[in-house]
Amino acid sequence: SDALLALNSVLDYEVTVTPHCKLNTVQGVISEDDLLDTSDAELVEGLSSQGVVAARRINIRRDGNERKTKHVILTFDSTTLPATVKAGYLQCRVRPYVPNPQRCFKCQRFGHGSRSCRGADTCAKCSSKEHVADNCDNEPKCANCEGNHPSYSRSCPLWKQEKEILTLKAKENITYIEAKKRFSFLSKGGYAEVVRRGPARPMTASTGTQTSPDDLRLSLKSPPKPTGTVPVAPGPKPRVDAGSLASTSEQGKAPPGRGRPPRTSGPNRPGEPSRQSTPQGRQSATQEEPMDDCGPRSDEEAPSSG
């Protein structure tokens, strides 16, 4: 913060940095009967060592006369409010100062004074713009909430709302605009309302509305009949074993035996008995004559019994 206060220029522009007149100070109230005869200047002088930079006594008006009260507003050169201050032998408790809502005596609205008001003169009793409250015999009507009470009544809901905003501003030491935003959030439930409602339900998107009526009408019609040749997916290939391949390669030759693969001449494998080649003079049985382990079944080649 010290470096910011010492800043003299930004780019090519000369600037002057000064502390905020209100956000760097905090106000509190003390109430002591023994300090009724003490002036504001004496209070500042006696409490300056405790951070007090200003003091103002709260006065009230009764029957046209101004009277002093025991309440004194102290301004501290700090952002935190002390719990107590010591005035001589008195230990004074300090509480946050919450001012009453400022009401304009001209237009009867909250938030500004009559010196800066641009509105029309309004009766504080009936909210009429044709006369003032001193000459009014009408029924009361609030200029802020239009309720059946005068504009200066503390029972006005808007007056209570402004009071709560100012209380939040004083306790949190924030600006009026920030306090008003926070009050608006809290008045709608805030965190407590969110916790009470529980987690939000998951959002589901409907896909029914993503189809146009024309597309839906076309999908309900029967599909068109296929025209031309429709390609057919090839089926599974038949399984071919070694025996069928051998019988196909030797056309006109019958297998040596049923269920046995044909043997061909060639070198013997290790551990296999020697093979005898078929004599050339002997013809093998035809494929139409089935053979068994004993030989051909025809009567011509079967051995005679005699």
**Mind listing the pLDDT tens digit for each residue in 85-144?**
999 889 999 999 998 999 999 999 998 888 889 889 999 999 998 888 888 889 999 999
Predicted local confidence at residue 192, as pLDDT: 53
**Regarding the domain delimited by 2-94, which CATH topology (the fold level of the hierarchy) does it fall under?**
Alpha-Beta Plaits (3.30.70)
Under the banding of pLDDT at 50, 70 and 90, the label for residue 231 is low
Query: Where do you find CATH 3.30.70 in the chain?
Result: 2-94
DSSP annotation string for the chain: -HHHHT--EETTEE------TTTT-EEEEEE-GGGTT--HHHHHHHHGGGTEEEEEEEEEEETTEEEEEEEEEEEESSSS--SEEEETTEEEE-EE--PPPPB-TTT--BSS-GGG--S----TTT--SSS-GGG--SPP--TTT--SS-TT-TT-HHHHHHHHHHHHHHHHT--HHHHHHHHHHHHTTHHHHHHHH-SPPPP---SGGGS-HHHHHHHHSPPPPP-SPPP----PPPP--HHHHHHHHSTT---SSTT-PPP--SPPPTT-PPPPPPPTTSPPPPTTS-EETTEE-STTTSPP--
Predicted local confidence at residue 135, as pLDDT: 80
The model carries a pTM of 0.52
pLDDT at 79 over 70: yes
Mean model confidence pLDDT for the chain: 74
Least confident segment among 11-20, 140-149, 179-188, 210-219:
210-219
